[in-house]
Amino acid sequence: MNEQTTIDRTQREYSAAAKKALGRSPQLYINGEWVDSSGGETIDVEDPSSGKVVSKIVEASDKDVDRAVAAARTAFDDGRWRNMPPVARQKIMNRLADLIEEHADELAELEAIDVGKPKGMAGAIDVPGAAAHIRFCAGWAGKINGETISPYTMPGDMMFAYTLKEPVGVCAQIVPWNFPLLMACLKIAPALAAGCTTILKPAEQTSLTALRLADLIAEAGIPAGVVNIITGYGHTAGDRMVKHPDVDKVAFTGSTEIGKLINRNVTDTLKHITLELGGKSPVVVMPDVNVAETAPGVSQAIFFNSGQVCVAGSRLYAHKSVFDEVVEGMANTADFWAPRASLDPDAHMGPLVSKEQHERVMGYIDAGKRDGASVLMGGDGPGGDGYYVNPTILTDVNPQMSVVREEIFGPVVVAQRFEDLDEVVKDANDTQYGLAAGVWTKDASAAHRIASKLQAGTVWVNCHAMIDTAIPFGGYKESGVGREQGREGIEAYLETKSVIMKL
């Protein structure tokens, strides 16, 4: 019997620590204090595993945003953070990473309750990843330097020139709901290392861990006003942050649609901007693979985090000689990925984040069916409460279908056959997106050849979604602007000043 039919999806009891976090009164973290909103509006917090409302957060007003920006502006301008010796900033940042690790279990549980991701996944990936971003960037705090430069057209004995690397200023950082704590830390860490101050807005669906992070930011000793955390909607609070004249840089992760809107909205004030946007990442499986290893790997590439991953391997291209075996191997993972409540210790995949996302993903699956795609696996939800969708494989698709062209952001992969390399590279690149891609092969030279031809910011070989804070990450084409992580991620928070002196 299929195991899926016997799963009890009732959400488990929350821990005392989680109940306490859910029970706090809705407030904002501005200028080092917990403050009430000027408006009094709130947003419901839902547990997508049950569909129940479990808490409330502030819906920040324009006044709240202005107050947070003013706090960040003052904290930047008076130099309380950027002029602190790097050794002290590094120490405080490492203390924050320590505190995240000390509260790992609670943070993983809150993430599971808020996003619907399995607590085990949040504990293995999101929380340690968040701490790692902070530690890596803490190390940079003391390694940001300009250089002395010998002029080319001016006499060297008369002129002395050097560059200074300075923090870009006040940052507005807006993150989505798929990896809330991880993305929050990915955003604040390089800003802090560079000496910037920031206003961070988590997604309205998933603000719980960002609010707990604010407690830890205070406890770590980050001075008041350096990091401000406000909750609220994108089109109101987010929009005000983006357009605010006292903000110097916008860093956004989210949909391509909103990324384009934000890019237009920063134009009037010509802010610095980095955008990490959507994807429709191809995964190419060559004829020489060991299917027993590859099938679970390419399944994880799409089903991890219920497919709500910007780099999800959502377009599979398997060589015709292995196609049937690969998709059969993927279908054999159905029980492993069967969605369960996020606090079920056996869960590998949870529900989708929200009713809206559930409707969106089911809408795509239905459109795929109407367009003539065959459902090899899933294609439905288990029913009952919560926003569950079964892991889904669609075959018999063509490049015109919306399921092949658009980012679904759910556990849905479209599987296609290919015959020769040039053809598959062309198909893989036939997309507005260019965030990531995967290649599975034992042939090292084929791997390098394909990697060089794929239009993507990251190419994985024999793995997927391996993201490391030291390695630059970002998109080609409509998947983004700029890079985060690694040295380039720090550079994105710096201005270069050239000083030229006549001797």
- Which positions are annotated as active-site residues? 276, 310
Nearer to ligand NAI, 255 or 462 (CB): 255
Q: How many CB atoms are located within 10 Å of the residue 17 CB?
A: 15
Site membership for ligand NAI, residue 263 (CB under 6 A) = no
Nearer to ligand NAI, 440 or 473 (CB): 473
3-32 positions binding ligand NAI, by CB under 6 A: none
Q: Is the dihedral of CA 183, 189, 194, 195 positive or negative?
A: positive
Nearer to ligand NAI, 138 or 237 (CB): 237
296-325 positions binding ligand NAI, by CB under 6 A: 310
Site membership for ligand NAI, residue 141 (CB under 6 A) = no
Site membership for ligand NAI, residue 376 (CB under 6 A) = no
Q: How far is CA 127 from the centre of its chain?
A: 13
Site membership for ligand NAI, residue 203 (CB under 6 A) = yes
* Nearest Cα to Cα of residue 397 among 364, 434, 419: 364
Site membership for ligand NAI, residue 58 (CB under 6 A) = no
Structure tokens at 223: 């001075």
Site membership for ligand NAI, residue 204 (CB under 6 A) = yes
Q: How many CB atoms are located within 10 Å of the residue 168 CB?
A: 19
Residues 6+ apart with CB under 8 A from 140: 190, 193, 194, 487, 490
Candidates 210, 258, 397, 413; binder of ligand NAI (CB under 6 A) is: 258
Instruction: Return the range that interacts with ligand NAI (CB under 6 A); candidates 7-15, 116-124, 249-257, 291-299.
Output: 249-257
Helix (H) or strand (E) holding 459: strand 458-461
Q: How far is the CB of 82 from ligand NAI (least distance, A)?
A: 26
Instruction: Return the range that interacts with ligand NAI (CB under 6 A); candidates 65-73, 127-135, 238-246, 379-387.
Output: 238-246
Instruction: Return the range that interacts with ligand NAI (CB under 6 A); candidates 138-146, 251-259, 372-380, 486-494.
Output: 251-259
Structure tokens at 65: 């945003």
Distance CA 125, CA 128 (A): 6
Site membership for ligand NAI, residue 165 (CB under 6 A) = no
Q: How many residues does the chain have?
A: 503
Site membership for ligand NAI, residue 485 (CB under 6 A) = no
Taking phi first (over 0 means left), then psi (-120 to 50 degrees means alpha), and beta for anything else, what does residue 294 get? alpha
Structure tokens at 18: 């989680």
- Per-residue DSSP letters for 60-74? --HHHHHHHHHHHHH
**CA R_g for the chain:** 23
Candidates 235, 320, 449, 487; binder of ligand NAI (CB under 6 A) is: 235
Candidates 57, 108, 213, 277; binder of ligand NAI (CB under 6 A) is: 277
* Interface ranges with ligand NAI (CB under 6 A): 174-178, 201, 203-204, 233-235, 238-239, 242, 253-255, 258, 261-262, 277-278, 310, 357, 360, 407, 409
